[in-house]
Amino acid sequence: MRLFWSAPVRVRPGRRAVELDAERWTVVNKERLERYSLAGPENQAAVSAGLTSGDWFRSAVPRKRMKELMRRSDHPAIRDTIIWLGLMALFAGLGIAFWGSWWAVPFFLAYGLLYGSTSDSRWHEAGHGTAFKTRWIDQGLYQLASFMIMRDPTTWRWSHTRHHTDTLILGRDPEIAVMRPARLAKLIVNFVGLIDVPTAFGLMFRHAAGRLTADEADYVPASERHKVYRTARIDLAIYAVTIGLAIGFRSWLPVVLIGGPRLYGALLLYFYSFTQHAGMGENVLDYRLNTRTVKMGRINRFLYWNMNYHVEHHMFPMVPYYRLPELHEQVKGDLAAAYPSIWAAYKEIIPAVWRQLRDQEYYVRRELPPGAPPYHQPAPITDGRAMPLATATAA
């Protein structure tokens, strides 16, 4: 299989060059989507290569210590959720109070970021069932956060389950945010939800009609699908009422409060989540090769619910977010040094993703500290370069 961009294309200047460039990008895009599709050939290739449900590297943590780290408590998550919802209520209230003046803008921006970005980490943690000791509170937050982030709670539960089974395995992981080569325009406009929101509504209508996409059909069991259809109908009804209120009152306010924040408040969602895996290894069975841990300050860690400890989270998804800093201390001797800041992570991510536009074999590989267990086998071909699976298996 030829790598994207691997063969230089000679073009003449002028209109013909533009046409050739457009043709080349059409081919690139088609091949890229095919490689990352769960309904494409890479899925079976990953199964055949033994990369699915693989034996991943995990640090050795004594059972007694692991039990301490896994133990659940309602207190931290209830406290944090009250603060989170309280801040949203406060900012929304102030925004409503100043509605009609520019003073409303900063309050709605703050409300929007909490609604449209930080609901992602609440969705994530509650989806794992680790946030609270009491199950119904966890499930309640999961449903609320799923609605806010515009993800169907059932399909995304299964999607995320697959993401943990086959993290960054091509044709298997439905949650690879940054492909190779990256879909840059899509990534950029999605900072204001311009891809996610129309996609989410398209899926809601599809689900409400009793249908799944081909990718969803690959990971959502038949017995769970009725939940998808039911939730889509409920969500569409809520949005219909919201829009009806906006029309009835001749005001944007209902949309600014419900649904709209997923557009104007989405900035932090991808700002945080790109740090998880962007530019890292694919088709590897070691989280130290495909995942980052990034040190963040208290405010960012509150907003992101400690998901910056992402290597640790993937190794031990049983550990609740409020114990991840302790888990990090426990296993850091096995990991490459954590990135000291978001800025440090992006100093690596942006050049890596840029380089992958032309060299899809490139990925970020970091040095492990002395004494750390070596990178897990099977090692990727050609010294850790994550080659497209079809090429790798043919080699």
Partner 1 sequence: MVSWIAACGVDDVDPEDVIPFEHDGRDYAIYRSPDDEYYATDGHCTHEKTLLCDGLVMGTVIECPKHNGRFDYVSGKALGAPVLEDVRTYPVKVVDGTVLIDTDTDIDTSTGVG
For partner 1, the closer of residues 26 and 53 by Cβ is 53
Does 47 sit near partner 1 (CB under 8 A)?
Answer: no
71 forms part of the interface with partner 1 (CB under 8 A): yes
Residue pointed to by tokens 């990925």: 363
Residue 231 touches partner 1, criterion: CB under 8 A: no
Phi and psi torsions of 293, nearest 5°: -115, 130
For partner 1, the closer CB: 21 or 224: 224
Position among 35, 72, 207, 323 found at the interface with partner 1 (CB under 8 A): 72
The residues near 204 (Cβ < 8 Å, ≥ 6 apart) are 152, 232, 235, 236
- 42, 7, 33, 25: which is closest to 388 by C-alpha? 42
Which range touches partner 1 (CB under 8 A), out of 86-94, 278-286, 295-303, 310-318?
A: 310-318
Q: How far apart are CA 305 and CA 177, in angstroms?
A: 19
**384 is an interface residue for partner 1 by CB under 8 A:** no
Alpha-carbon span 360 to 181, nearest angstrom: 6
Interface with partner 1, residue 53, by CB under 8 A: yes
Q: Does 23 bind partner 1 (CB under 8 A)?
A: no
For the chain, strand residue ranges (E) read none
Residue closer to partner 1 (CB basis): 66 or 187: 66
Mutual orientation of helices 75-97 and 135-149 as an angle, nearest 10°?
A: 40
Q: Please, which residue, 212 or 266, has the CB nearer to partner 1?
A: 212
Q: How would you label 280-318 residue by residue, b for 16+ Cβ within 10 Å and e otherwise?
A: bbbbbbbbbbbbbbbbbeeebbebbbbbbbbbbbbbbeb
Candidate residues 73, 134, 143, 161; the one interacting with partner 1 per rule CB under 8 A: 161
- Binding status of residue 341 toward partner 1 by CB under 8 A: no
Asked if residue 318 binds partner 1 (CB under 8 A), the reply is yes
User: Applying CB under 8 A, does 140 fall inside the site for partner 1?
Assistant: no
Residues making contact with partner 1 (CB under 8 A) = 53, 66-67, 70-72, 128-130, 133, 154, 157-158, 161, 164-165, 221, 223-224, 316-318
